C-alpha cells in the first residue's frame, strides 16, 4: 500500500462499499448533527438584538425581552410548519424538493440558490462567532481570528469526509455539553435573580453613546423601525432549522416521525436558552455594541475605553458574572460555546452536500457534486462548501456582525417558498382524499403551513427593508447569481442531451477508414503503433512524417526503404518547421475528400515513471491531440510504450503494497482486495 493510500485511510478512514448505503442516525445523535446550528445561534442571536437596540442607547434595552418573544413566536410557527413538511416528505429533499414539486422549477431553483447562500453563511457565521468566544478564553487567538477560523473549516471538512456516523459522534458530546452548560448557567442566574443575589455583568457600568441621528427621544415611527431591525437581526436564531427537513433520509425509521420529534426537541431547547439569555442579560445590566463601534462605549465617567479593550460576547459576560466565584465554570461555558459554534457549521456540511447531489441529479449543478467518496460522503460538495466559506471569512475578516447582515435573507426566502409549496401540497391532497379523518388532518396541516407562510412572508419583507442597505443586497445578488448559474448549467445539460440523442443514422458504419500512423523516427514505439494500426484492418493505412529538416527526412526515407515495409510513408514538408498544422491540414483534406468516411490517427506515446520525465516527452503529442479532438471525422488513438522507468515505478508500488508492517493487519492496512471484499469493509 502506497504512502498516499495509507495517509488517506488515516485521515478519512477505510473505504466503504456502496452497498453499505446510508448510515442512519438515532434521534439522540441526529439532534446535534442536524440541529447544532439552530441551537448554537443562542450564542449570537441575543448579541445581534442588543447591538441593534444599542443604536439608540441603553434605554431601548427595555424592549429586548419583547423582541426575544417575537423571535420565539416565529420560531414556533416555522418549526410547526416544518413538522408537517418532514411528515409529508419523509424522503428528504427539504425546501428545494417541496418548492420544485409544488411550485415548479423556477421556484425550486430560487429556493436552491437561497439555500446555497444560507449554507455558506452558516459555516462562515458559526465559525467566526466561535472564534470570538475562543478569543475570550484564549487571548493568543485575538488578532489571528481569520487564520484560526480557516483552520477550523479545514478540520470540519476532514471530519465530514469520514462520514455521517463518525462526525455525529464527534459533534454529539460538545453539543450536549453546550446545552447543559448554558441551561445550568441560566438556571443558576435566574435562581440568584429570584433570591435577590443576581450580580451585574462587567459592562453594566458603561455608557452607550447613541448613533448620530438617534440622540433625541425616538418618535413612534423611529422606534418601530429600530425594533424591526432588532427583530430581523434576532431572527438569525431560526437559521439551521431547515436542515432537518433536508436530512430526513439520515434518520432511522420511521424517518418522518423521528425528524418531527427532533424538531420539537430543537424548538423547546433553543427557545428556552435564547429567552433565558436575553432576560438575564437585561437584568444584569449588559451593555453591548457592534465590535466596530467600540468608541460608543464609555466608562461611568464618560471617558473612552482603552484601545486594547476586548468586548466579550453576551454569554461570556453572563457566565463571567454568574460564576464569579467559580472561574472554572466560566471557562467551561466559554469553551463549549466556542466549540459548538465551530461544530455548528456541521449542519451545513451535512445539508449542502445532500442538496448538491439532488441538484446534480436534476441537472442544475455539476455532476461531480453527486459523486460519493470512499466513505460514502459527498466529498466534492463538502470541499466546495468549505472553500466558499473560507473565502467569506477572509473577505469579512471573520467579523460576525458583518456576516449577519448577509445571513438571514436566504433563510426566509426558502422558508416562505417552502410554506407556499406546502399549502399547495395539502390543497392538492384534499382533492384526492375522501376519508374524514385524513381530510381533517390535511386541513389542520394546511392551516399551520398557511400561518407559517404569512409570518415568514412578513418577516422576509421586514428583513429586506431593514437590512438591504446594511449588506442584505449582497445576499440578494448572490442568490440571483447562483440562480442564473444553475439555470445556465441546466440549459447546457439539456442542450447536450438533445445533441447526443441517438438517431437511426448514428448506427451506420463509415464507408471508409483512412488510418495514418505518425512517425518521428523508426524505433520500437513506431513499430508497435504500425503493428496495432495494421491489426485494425483499415481501408487505407499509411505512415506520415512531418519533414522539417531535409537531411533527417532523407535518412528516414532510406531506413524505411531498407526495412522494406509494406506500409507507404508519406512525408509532409513543413517549410516553417511546424509539426501540428501539417498533420491537421492533411487529416482535414482526407476527410473532405470522403465526408462519409473517418480518419484514424495513431500517435505513439511514451509511458514514463517520473513526473519530470513527462515534461521531457509527449509535448508534441499532447498539442496534436488537443487540436485533433476538435476536428470532425477524426478519431485519435494513443499507442503507449512503457519505458524502463515506468516499469521500475510499477515495481516500487507493487513492493510497497506487498510489504506488511507490524500492526498493519490489525489496522486493516495489509489486507488484499479479497480480504477486503470478504469483510465487506471497503
* SS3 sequence of 410-425: HHHHHHHHHHHHHHHH
Length of the chain: 682
User: Taking all residues of the chain, what is their mean pLDDT, rounded to a whole number?
Assistant: 82
What 3-state class would DSSP assign to 516? strand
User: Could you identify the residue written with the cell 428528504?
Assistant: 92
Nearest 10 degrees: CA dihedral of 320, 321, 324, 327? Answer: -10
- How many Cβ atoms sit within 10 Å of the Cβ of residue 299? 12
Catalogue all structural domains in the chain, each as residue range(s) with its CATH number: 3-495 (1.20.1740.10), 511-642 (3.40.50)
Question: pTM for this structure?
Answer: 0.73
- How many Cβ atoms sit within 10 Å of the Cβ of residue 441? 16
Quick check: 159 and 167 in contact, CB under 8 A? yes
What 3-state class would DSSP assign to 163? coil
- How many Cβ atoms sit within 10 Å of the Cβ of residue 534? 15
pLDDT of residue 92: 65
CA 245/CA 247 separation, integer angstroms: 6
Give 6's pLDDT tier (boundaries 50, 70, 90): very low
CA 283/CA 322 separation, integer angstroms: 12
Which residue would you say has higher pLDDT here, 429 or 576? 429
CA 27/CA 34 separation, integer angstroms: 10
Quick check: 129 and 37 in contact, CB under 8 A? no
For 525-551, what is the mean pLDDT?
92
Signed CA dihedral, 14, 20, 21, 26: sign only = negative
Cis peptide before 269 (omega within 30 of 0): no
The stretches of 3-93 forming alpha helices (DSSP H) are 3-12, 27-40, 45-53, 64-88
For 556-567, what is the mean pLDDT?
89
Q: What is the DSSP letter of 513?
A: E
- Per residue in 190-234, pLDDT (tens digit) is 999 999 999 999 889 899 988 887 877 888 888 998 999 899 888
What 3-state class would DSSP assign to 547? strand
CA 404/CA 342 separation, integer angstroms: 16
DSSP for 176-219, please give it: HHHHHHHHHHHHHHHHHHHTT-PPPPTTTT-EEPPPTT-SSPPP
CA 49/CA 333 separation, integer angstroms: 21
Burial class (CB in 10 A: 0-12, 13-18, 19+), 630: exposed
Quick check: 350 and 33 in contact, CB under 8 A? yes
Give 637's pLDDT tier (boundaries 50, 70, 90): very high
Whether the pLDDT of residue 8 is over 80: the answer is no
Residue 584: all three cell numbers together:
491537421
Q: What percent of the chain has pLDDT over 90?
A: 28
Whether the pLDDT of residue 5 is over 70: the answer is no
List the Cα angle 586/588/592 in 5-degree steps.
Answer: 120
Nearest to 286 by CA among 253, 241, 317, 261: 317
First to last CA, the chain: 14
Rounded (10°) angle between helices 164-194 and 27-40? 60
Quick check: 386 and 441 in contact, CB under 8 A? no
For 397-424, what is the mean pLDDT?
83
For 438-442, what is the mean pLDDT?
90
Ranking 184-198, 209-223, 443-457, 552-566 by mean pLDDT, the lowest is: 209-223
List the Cα angle 342/280/36 in 5-degree steps.
Answer: 25
Whether the pLDDT of residue 179 is over 50: the answer is yes
> 642 in the Ramachandran plot: left (φ > 0), alpha (ψ -120 to 50) or beta?
beta
Give 402's pLDDT tier (boundaries 50, 70, 90): confident
Nearest to 78 by CA among 355, 349, 270: 270
Ranking 33-47, 53-67, 618-632, 644-658 by mean pLDDT, the lowest is: 644-658
Q: What is the DSSP letter of 369?
A: G
Residue 555: all three cell numbers together:
535518412
- Per residue in 250-280, pLDDT (tens digit) is 788 888 888 889 889 999 999 999 999 999 9
What 3-state class would DSSP assign to 641? strand
CA 294/CA 476 separation, integer angstroms: 29
Write out the H or E segment, with its range, that includes residue 479.
helix 473-499
What 3-state class would DSSP assign to 297? strand
CA 175/CA 40 separation, integer angstroms: 8
CA 78/CA 451 separation, integer angstroms: 9
Residue 172: all three cell numbers together:
454529539
Q: What is the DSSP letter of 304?
A: B
CA 389/CA 349 separation, integer angstroms: 11
Most confident region among 138-142, 355-359, 465-469, 585-589 by mean pLDDT? 585-589
| Helices and strands, counts by H and E, the chain | 26, 7
Amino acid at each position: 500500500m502506497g504512502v498516499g493510500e495509507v495517509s488517506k485511510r488515516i485521515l478519512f478512514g477505510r473505504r466503504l462499499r456502496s452497498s453499505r448505503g446510508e448510515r442512519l442516525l438515532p434521534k439522540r445523535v441526529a439532534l446535534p448533527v442536524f440541529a447544532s446550528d439552530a441551537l448554537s445561534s443562542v450564542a449570537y442571536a441575543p448579541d445581534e438584538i442588543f447591538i441593534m437596540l444599542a443604536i439608540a442607547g441603553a434605554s431601548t434595552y427595555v424592549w429586548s425581552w419583547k423582541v426575544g418573544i417575537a423571535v420565539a413566536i416565529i420560531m414556533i410557527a416555522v418549526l410547526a410548519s416544518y413538522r408537517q413538511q418532514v411528515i409529508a416528505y419523509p424522503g428528504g429533499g427539504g425546501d428545494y424538493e417541496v418548492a420544485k414539486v409544488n411550485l415548479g422549477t423556477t421556484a425550486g431553483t430560487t429556493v436552491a440558490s437561497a439555500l446555497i447562500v444560507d449554507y455558506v453563511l452558516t459555516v462562515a457565521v458559526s465559525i467566526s462567532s466561535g472564534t470570538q468566544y475562543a478569543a475570550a478564553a484564549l487571548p493568543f487567538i485575538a488578532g489571528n481570528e481569520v487564520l484560526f477560523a480557516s483552520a477550523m473549516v479545514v478540520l470540519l471538512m476532514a471530519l465530514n469526509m469520514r462520514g455521517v456516523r463518525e462526525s455525529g459522534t464527534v459533534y454529539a458530546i460538545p453539543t450536549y455539553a453546550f446545552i447543559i452548560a448554558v441551561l445550568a448557567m441560566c438556571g443558576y442566574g435566574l435562581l440568584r435573580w429570584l433570591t435577590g443575589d443576581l450580580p451585574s455583568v462587567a459592562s453594566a457600568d458603561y455608557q452607550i453613546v447613541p448613533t448620530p441621528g438617534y440622540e433625541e427621544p425616538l418618535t413612534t415611527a423611529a422606534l418601530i423601525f429600530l425594533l424591526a431591525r432588532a427583530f430581523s437581526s434576532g431572527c438569525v436564531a431560526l437559521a439551521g432549522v431547515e436542515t432537518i427537513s433536508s436530512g430526513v433520509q439520515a434518520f432511522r425509521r420511521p424517518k418522518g416521525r423521528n425528524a418531527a420529534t427532533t424538531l420539537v426537541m430543537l424548538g423547546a431547547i433553543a427557545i428556552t436558552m435564547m429567552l433565558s439569555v436575553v432576560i438575564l442579560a437585561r437584568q444584569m445590566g449588559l451593555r453591548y455594541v457592534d465590535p466596530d463601534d467600540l468608541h460608543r462605549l464609555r466608562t461611568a465617567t464618560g471617558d473612552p475605553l482603552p484601545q486594547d479593550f476586548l468586548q466579550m460576547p453576551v454569554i461570556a459576560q453572563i457566565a463571567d458574572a454568574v460564576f464569579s466565584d467559580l472561574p472554572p465554570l466560566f471557562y467551561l461555558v466559554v469553551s463549549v460555546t466556542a466549540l459548538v459554534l465551530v461544530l455548528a457549521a456541521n449542519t451545513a456540511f451535512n445539508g449542502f452536500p445532500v442538496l448538491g447531489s439532488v441538484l446534480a441529479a436534476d441537472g442544475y449543478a455539476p455532476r461531480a457534486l453527486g459523486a460519493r467518496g470512499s466513505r460514502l460522503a459527498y466529498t466534492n460538495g463538502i470541499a466546495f462548501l468549505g472553500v466558499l466559506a473560507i473565502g467569506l471569512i477572509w473577505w469579512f475578516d471573520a467579523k460576525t456582525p458583518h456576516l449577519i447582515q448577509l445571513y438571514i435573507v436566504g433563510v426566509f426566502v426558502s422558508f416562505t417558498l417552502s410554506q407556499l409549496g406546502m399549502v399547495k401540497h395539502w390543497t392538492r391532497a384534499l382533492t384526492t382524499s375522501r376519508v374524514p379523518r385524513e381530510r381533517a388532518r390535511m386541513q389542520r396541516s394546511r392551516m399551520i403551513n398557511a400561518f407559517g407562510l404569512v409570518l415568514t412572508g412578513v418577516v422576509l419583507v421586514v428583513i429586506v427593508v431593514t437590512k438591504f442597505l446594511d449588506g442584505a443586497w449582497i445576499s440578494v445578488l448572490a442568490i440571483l447569481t447562483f440562480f442564473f448559474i444553475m439555470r445556465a448549467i441546466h440549459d447546457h445539460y439539456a442542450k447536450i442531451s438533445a445533441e447526443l440523442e441517438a438517431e437511426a443514422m448514428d448506427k451506420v458504419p463509415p464507408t471508409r477508414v483512412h488510418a495514418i500512423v505518425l512517425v518521428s523516427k523508426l524505433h520500437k514505439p513506431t513499430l508497435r503503433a504500425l503493428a496495432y494500426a495494421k491489426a485494425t484492418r483499415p481501408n487505407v493505412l499509411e505512415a506520415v512524417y512531418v519533414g522539417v529538416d531535409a537531411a533527417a527526412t532523407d535518412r528516414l526515407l532510406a531506413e524505411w526503404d531498407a526495412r522494406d515495409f509494406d506500409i507507404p510513408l508519406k512525408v509532409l514538408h513543413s517549410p516553417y518547421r511546424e509539426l501540428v498544422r501539417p498533420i491537421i491540414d492533411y487529416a482535414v483534406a482526407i476527410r473532405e475528400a470522403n465526408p462519409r468516411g473517418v480518419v484514424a490517427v495513431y500517435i505513439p506515446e511514451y509511458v514514463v515513471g517520473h513526473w519530470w520525465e513527462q515534461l521531457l516527452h509527449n509535448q508534441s503529442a499532447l498539442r496534436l491531440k488537443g487540436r485533433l479532438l476538435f476536428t470532425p471525422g477524426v478519431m485519435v488513438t494513443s499507442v503507449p510504450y512503457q519505458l524502463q522507468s515506468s516499469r521500475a515505478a510499477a515495481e516500487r508500488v507493487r513492493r510497497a503494497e506487498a510489504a506488511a508492517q507490524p500492526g498493519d493487519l490489525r489496522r486493516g492496512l495489509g489486507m488484499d482486495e479479497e480480504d477486503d471484499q470478504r469483510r465487506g469493509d471497503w
